[in-house]
Amino acid sequence: GKKVLIVYAHQEPKSLNGSLKRVAVEELSKQGCSVTVSDLYAMQFEPRATRNDIVGCLHNSEEFNYGMETWEAYKRGGLSDDLIEEQKKVQEADLLIFQFPLYWFSMPAIMKGWMDRVLVQGFAHEFPNCYDSGLLKNKLALFSFTTGGSKEMYAKGGISGDIRYLLWPMQHGIMHFCGVKVLAPHICFAPEYVSEEKREEMLIAWSQRLKTLWKEEPINCSPEWYFK
């Protein structure tokens, strides 16, 4: 069976994000997948990239450079336990699902902190091994999220601009940079402003999509997909 890691960022299990996460666990498990969830708020995951991420001596104690220090620490097995744990989950996964509410045109800070701390040089990328030759190639990622604004607001002519513009830093700048192939995002627009029935339909649509997820082709990871 395939292995799936769901990185989940919402404070409330009864939220739509909580329900979307639950549906994914149920549906993928039913398919025989092995599903692991990193529930960032429940774990009280530390989002700040600090000196605490390196165990033992620093490579350069004169001047702290987080990128360099975590790279060196990764090579000698000297990263903090929480990072080693998350990297192990990523390493084993065939598919990464990121489930979150959109905050200020981006992911919540706790999830961005997961990206900052877990995807270190040497583990996820190592120049020139990035983009198509990133160290996490052969993995898939899918961003599943809810928005505050309506679909119309996130259309090309809408006040917020095309939703794809917001996906550029997340999908391209992080996932594709690390070599991960990206599936089309799953977006639930403005769930707070629709009926209970509509929210139920959103959960059913997600469940239906997951049934055939492994047959999907990744998006064309090029600027054209985002900005055409």
Residue boundaries of the structural domains of the chain: 3-227
Spatial neighbors of 177 by CB under 8 A, at least 6 apart, are 125, 130, 131, 134
CATH class for the region spanning 3-227: alpha beta
pLDDT tens per residue across span 58-101: 999 999 999 999 999 999 999 999 999 999 999 999 999 999 99
Residue 228: what pLDDT? 84
pLDDT tens per residue across span 107-158: 999 999 999 999 999 999 999 999 999 999 999 999 999 999 999 999 999 9
Please tell me the pTM assigned to this model. 0.97
pLDDT tens per residue across span 172-225: 999 999 999 999 999 999 999 999 999 999 999 999 999 999 999 999 989 999
